[in-house]
């Protein structure tokens, strides 16, 4: 299972990006192409999720949705507690990092779905709706912690607005609504473009993500051993707990594994944008290096097979 993941085109493209950055190659995707790929991928998963949601009974979706919302509220609190009590981080930096680890990485979600599908067990099609549910609550909770404890000036609502109107949420939620409204039959004309070209676009996107992630590796000496350990252990704890809880909601083993990958991931798009506005004094080296330089590479290479193996073991 691990070999299948590490030898997939998506992961090997990520590794190629890392190697290119380490050898100081001039390989980079044009900024406009990278943004275009991110728009395509987010809209595609939203559309496909909306189509599946249109034919999913509410009673089937309600349990996983409620669990996802609850996890989005609990995980930033657990991350904050560990960072404060064990890591001895100040409140602002602990809240900033917690916001990232409570939220979700859409790319990790996409890789997890590709892995589960490649293993022959496609997860539930409505899971993109859970990505949208998980994106916002954790950031709001973490920012509220910082504002409440520090009695800070300003408004965390401004940062929440930044998240809600950001590219990720607009494309995911908009795609979900469009897919839900048109249904399977009316989606057919657009299906070859948004489904057929998805894997190729993902390979190119992960190539650039490897280059970006490798750029944060030089900061590992700065963040220290605790944050390196936190960036690996905390996702494992969140991921395995989510996989176990997902079994009580009726999710398939593949769906539970993808949910575990979602909850274990760390946001590096929506959360940094919100933290930059609400907590400008928070150290970007901490939250960007841990989320993008540690947790993201771990999850896409080792974490996702771990959550999938745990889910299949529980179902056995």
Domains of the chain are: 2-21+28-315 (1.20.1530.20)
Encode the chain (316 residues) as per-residue pLDDT tens digits: 667 767 788 889 989 999 998 999 999 999 899 889 989 998 998 898 899 889 889 899 999 999 999 999 999 999 999 999 999 999 889 999 999 998 899 889 999 998 999 888 989 989 998 988 888 788 888 878 777 655 555 555 666 676 677 777 788 889 999 999 999 999 999 999 998 888 899 899 889 888 988 888 778 888 889 999 999 999 999 999 999 999 999 999 999 999 999 999 998 877 887 788 778 888 888 998 899 889 999 999 999 999 999 999 999 8
Q: What is the pLDDT of residues 185-196, one digit of tens each?
A: 999 999 999 988
Rounded to whole angstroms, the Cα distance separating 302 from 296 reads 10
pTM for this model (two decimals): 0.85
């Amino acid at each position: 299972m691990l070999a299948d993941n590490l030898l997939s085109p998506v992961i090997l493209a990520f590794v190629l990006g890392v190697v290119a950055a380490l050898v100081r190659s001039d390989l980079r995707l044009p900024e406009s192409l990278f943004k275009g790929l991110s728009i395509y991928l987010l809209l595609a998963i939203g559309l496909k999720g909306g189509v599946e949601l249109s034919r999913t009974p509410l009673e089937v979706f309600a349990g996983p949705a409620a669990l996802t919302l609850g996890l989005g509220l609990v995980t930033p609190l657990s991350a904050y507690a560990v960072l404060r009590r064990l890591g001895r981080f100040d409140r602002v930096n602990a809240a900033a990092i917690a916001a990232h680890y409570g939220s979700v990485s859409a790319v990790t979600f996409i890789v997890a779905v590709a892995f589960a599908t490649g293993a022959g067990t496609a997860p539930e099609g409505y899971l993109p709706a859970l990505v949208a549910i998980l994106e916002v609550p954790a950031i709001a909770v973490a920012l509220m912690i910082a504002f409440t404890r520090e009695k800070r000036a300003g408004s965390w609502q401004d940062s929440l607005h930044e998240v809600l109107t950001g590219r990720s949420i607009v494309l995911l939620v908009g795609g979900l609504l469009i897919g839900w409204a048109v249904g399977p039959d009316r989606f057919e004309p657009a299906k070859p473009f948004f489904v057929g070209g998805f894997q190729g676009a993902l390979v190119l996107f992960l190539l650039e993500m490897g280059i970006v992630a490798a750029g944060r590796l030089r900061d590992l000496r700065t963040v220290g051993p605790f944050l390196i350990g936190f960036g690996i252990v905390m996702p494992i704890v969140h991921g395995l707990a989510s996989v176990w809880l997902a079994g009580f909601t009726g999710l398939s083993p593949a769906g539970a594994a993808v949910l575990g990958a979602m909850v274990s991931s760390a946001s590096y798009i929506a959360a940094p944008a919100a933290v930059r506005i609400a907590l400008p004094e928070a150290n970007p080296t901490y939250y960007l290096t841990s989320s993008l330089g540690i947790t993201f590479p771990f999850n896409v290479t080792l974490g996702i097979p771990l959550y999938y193996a745990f889910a299949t073991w529980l179902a056995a």
